[in-house]
């Protein structure tokens, strides 16, 4: 009898524990991987900034994912940059900091499995992302964000998910360009490793330690590695996702983000294996999915068929239970953005700033000068086509006036460095015109010399980004569009008519993105090193610039935006004709 019991015990043990890994795993397995990325606060199907219905939302994503989950094995992933954009995330980042953050409430409710942190999440500061890291029911990944104190990842490097015995490994990487854009106070104690170097380190670790059936990359980094006039071999490339997929064998799918461009493309890695690269556009208007069919072969490995899909959220309704659950948070933020701040006596438009002097930029310049007590202010349009209408101005309008949570720096620059800075700006902005029929703006051109029409925006594509089109206030100068690059700007005097000297030092107000070298104006343009930038900084605001702008406007009560006329474009006749023509090209078709 004892022998019989022993045999039964051994049989039960073998059934429960003695099976091989391949026997535990199913012969066939289907899985759907779903990615959101660059949500930028689009939680509800409502645009808090413009007081209107939005085009995408996590509420709609929830509807779609719930439908998928009814019939499929689903892994839901986010790829970063959710903490900046809509006022609802700003409110929970900086205003209501005692309650659980809206993002952790919502993403836990939606049952996200994993996420990678993005650069705009780091921009919110340690207090915000350290709190969220604790509140999330899932890991926040970034293998290449290294804690300086012990050289270990500050966030989780990867996540293992097991579905029906199938092991899925997800490696997270963040764009390493953060020190180029953000003050060190926001990422203190962290250094950001090159993505290729990090992937080459972690993939062997994952393969040896975990032996996954499926290996996924979740990279907050874009596809175009030439963006910003860099190349394939540039160290710490901002958009290195394709490079990693090619150079580091092992990935089945690489999910990307950061660049707000839709991607669904298969490439070959250096071993000749196929890798699918997927990424959605921003603001929860799309999600991307990888449909994966797996069949176990005689060697105990899965043969995989992988198909990428781009899903438009406009095809789905909002989830009513989602909206009801978070109605209180929605109402609280709507009340916040609906508070009247002041009255504008004139409408201001960011679009006008693309072609020359504008009331919009001059208002920002005046606020920066008053806040910093600097001699000169430098600013650029941070939105392409925002309008603040004449009449009552509300908190929501502050997000049109200033899009990002930058700080305001005051730095020391010589007159010569200011001149080089402006030359750099206009070299990337204005064309060198041969006659009055040429373009004013520098467009990306086809082989025949005609401007490139963007399929995404349905308008013609500028060669460089508008948020790097910097102009100065506090000095008088002319931009001659007939002159070659680096010889377009002539500074005549200070705005007070006092002399401007190339060898004098001036206090200059710039935002923290620019003050840390973002855009290259201070480094490639003015010729300053990273060490120089730190030494040149006189002061910084302790809160974001938008906060101080709102306080400045609130204190005024009535604001009369004026055109300062501190700079002009020559020849005026050419400028007038060309800007009218180019403005038509930038209107969506």
Backbone angles phi, psi at 146, to 5 degrees: -100, 130
Domain ranges of the chain: 27-333, 340-585
Cis peptide, bond prior to residue 571, ω within 30 of zero: yes
Query: Which one, of 39, 183, 12, lies nearest residue 107 by Cα?
Result: 39
Matching CATH topology for 27-333 and 340-585?
Answer: no
Give the largest Cα separation in the chain, rounded: 109
Q: How confident is the model at residue 145, as a pLDDT?
A: 98
Q: E strands, 58-165, where?
A: 74-78, 114-116, 140-141, 145-147, 158-163
Query: Which one, of 406, 403, 370, 405, lies nearest residue 553 by Cα?
Result: 370
Mean pLDDT of the chain: 94
Q: How confident is the model at residue 228, as a pLDDT?
A: 84
Q: How confident is the model at residue 83, as a pLDDT?
A: 98
Q: How confident is the model at residue 456, as a pLDDT?
A: 72
Q: What are the tens digits of pLDDT across the range 229-254?
A: 899 999 999 999 999 999 999 999 99
Backbone angles phi, psi at 90, to 5 degrees: -60, -45
CATH number of 27-333: 3.60.21.10
Handedness of CA 478, 482, 514, 517 (dihedral sign): negative
Backbone angles phi, psi at 324, to 5 degrees: -65, -40
With 0-12 / 13-18 / 19 or more C-beta atoms within 10 angstroms meaning exposed / middle / buried, residue 285 is: buried
Q: How confident is the model at residue 133, as a pLDDT?
A: 98
Handedness of CA 208, 115, 173, 92 (dihedral sign): negative
Is CATH 3.90.780.10 correct for 340-585?
Answer: yes
Q: How confident is the model at residue 459, as a pLDDT?
A: 83
**Alpha-carbon gap, residue 545 to 153, rounded angstroms:** 31
Q: Is-contact 447 353, C-beta < 8 A? A: no
Q: How confident is the model at residue 588, as a pLDDT?
A: 63
Helix (H) or strand (E) run with residue 199 in it: helix 195-210
**Alpha-carbon gap, residue 538 to 373, rounded angstroms:** 11
Tell me which residues of the chain have a pLDDT lower than 70.
1-23, 588-589
Strands 286-296 and 74-78, by their bridges, are unpaired
Q: What are the tens digits of pLDDT across the range 256-302?
A: 999 999 999 999 999 999 999 999 999 999 999 999 999 999 999 99
């Amino acid at each position: 009898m004892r022998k019989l019991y022993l045999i039964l015990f051994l049989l039960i043990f073998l059934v429960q524990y003695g099976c091989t890994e391949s026997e535990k795993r199913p012969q066939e397995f289907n899985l759907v991987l779903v990615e959101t990325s660059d949500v930028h606060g689009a939680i509800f199907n409502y645009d808090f900034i413009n007081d209107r219905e939005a085009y995408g939302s996590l509420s709609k994503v929830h509807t779609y994912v719930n439908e998928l989950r009814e019939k499929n094995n689903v892994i839901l992933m986010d790829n970063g940059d959710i903490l900046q954009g809509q006022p609802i995330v700003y409110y929970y980042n900086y205003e209501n900091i005692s309650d659980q953050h809206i993002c952790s409430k919502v993403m836990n409710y939606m049952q996200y499995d994993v996420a990678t942190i993005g650069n705009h999440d780091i921009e919110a500061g340690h207090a915000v992302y350290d709190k969220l890291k604790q509140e999330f029911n899932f890991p926040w990944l970034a293998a290449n964000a290294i804690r300086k104190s012990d050289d270990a990842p500050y966030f989780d490097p990867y996540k293992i998910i097991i579905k029906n015995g199938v092991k899925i490994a997800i490696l997270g990487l963040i764009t390493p360009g953060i020190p180029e854009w953000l003050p060190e106070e926001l990422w203190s104690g962290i250094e950001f490793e090159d993505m290729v170097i990090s992937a080459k380190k972690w993939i062997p670790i994952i393969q040896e330690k975990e032996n996954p059936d499926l290996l996924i990359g979740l990279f907050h980094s874009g596809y175009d590695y030439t963006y910003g006039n860099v190349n394939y071999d540039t160290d710490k490339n901002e958009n290195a996702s394709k490079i990693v997929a090619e150079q580091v064998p092992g990935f089945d799918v690489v999910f990307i983000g950061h660049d707000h461009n839709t991607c669904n493309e298969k490439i070959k890695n250096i071993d000749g294996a196929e890798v699918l690269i997927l990424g959605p556009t921003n603001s929860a208007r799309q999600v991307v999915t990888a449909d994966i069919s797996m069949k176990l072969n005689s060697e105990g490995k899965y043969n995989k068929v992988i198909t990428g899909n781009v899903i438009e959220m406009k095809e789905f309704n909002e989830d009513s239970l989602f909206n009801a659950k978070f109605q209180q948070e929605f109402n609280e933020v709507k009340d916040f953005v609906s508070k009247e701040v002041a009255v504008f006596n004139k409408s201001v438009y960011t679009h006008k700033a693309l072609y020359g002097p504008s009331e919009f930029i001059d208002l920002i310049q005046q606020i920066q000068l008053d806040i910093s007590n600097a001699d000169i202010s430098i600013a650029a349009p941070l939105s392409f086509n925002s309008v603040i209408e004449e009449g009552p101005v509300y908190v929501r309008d502050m997000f049109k006036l200033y899009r990002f949570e930058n700080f305001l720096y005051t730095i020391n620059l010589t007159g010569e460095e200011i001149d080089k800075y402006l030359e750099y700006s206009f070299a990337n902005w204005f064309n060198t015109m041969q006659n009055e029929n040429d373009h004013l703006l520098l467009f990306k051109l086809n082989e025949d010399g005609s401007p490139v029409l963007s399929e995404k925006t349905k308008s013609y594509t500028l060669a460089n980004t508008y948020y790097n089109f910097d102009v100065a206030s506090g000095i008088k100068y002319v931009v001659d569009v007939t002159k070659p690059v680096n010889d377009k700007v002539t500074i005549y005097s200070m705005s007070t008519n006092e002399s401007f000297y190339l060898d004098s030092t001036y206090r200059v107000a710039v935002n923290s993105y620019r003050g840390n070298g973002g855009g290259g104006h201070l480094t490639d343009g003015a010729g300053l090193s990273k060490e120089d930038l730190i030494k040149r900084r006189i002061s910084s605001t302790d809160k974001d610039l938008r906060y101080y702008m709102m306080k400045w406007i609130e204190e005024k009560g009535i604001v009369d935006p004026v055109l300062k006329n501190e700079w002009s474009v020559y020849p005026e006749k050419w400028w007038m004709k060309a800007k009218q023509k180019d403005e038509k090209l930038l209107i969506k078709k």
